[in-house]
Amino acid sequence: MSSPQAHGRVMRDQARQSSIDEFQCARCGAVYDVAITHRAPRAEYDAICIVCCEVMNEWHGTVGRAYTLKSQPAHA
């Protein structure tokens, strides 16, 4: 028997199973789904909020991240 706790979240998030995380823009509060993508070229990466154009996050490496806007703040 596997732990029921380990499966609870997976089942609830079935609709967006490719996403690994959620990220909220610190400036405007927009919420993004973060998914790993291997399509991005090898380079430096940054995630820019499409609502307020602020750089939300930066990282390095060969694996890219796709940020998909999930919900915008009401005042944007």
Question: Should residue 70 be labelled a site residue for Zn ion when binding is judged by CB under 5 A?
Answer: no
b/e per residue, 41-68, with b = 16+ CB within 10 A?
A: eeeebebebebbeeebbeeeeeebbbbe
Instruction: Pick the piece of the chain touching Zn ion (CB under 5 A) from 2-10, 12-20, 52-60, 62-70.
Output: 52-60
Exactly one of 19, 23, 25, 67 binds Zn ion (CB under 5 A); that residue is 25
Smallest distance from Zn ion to CB 71, Å:
12
Of 19 and 49, which has the nearer Cβ to Zn ion? 49
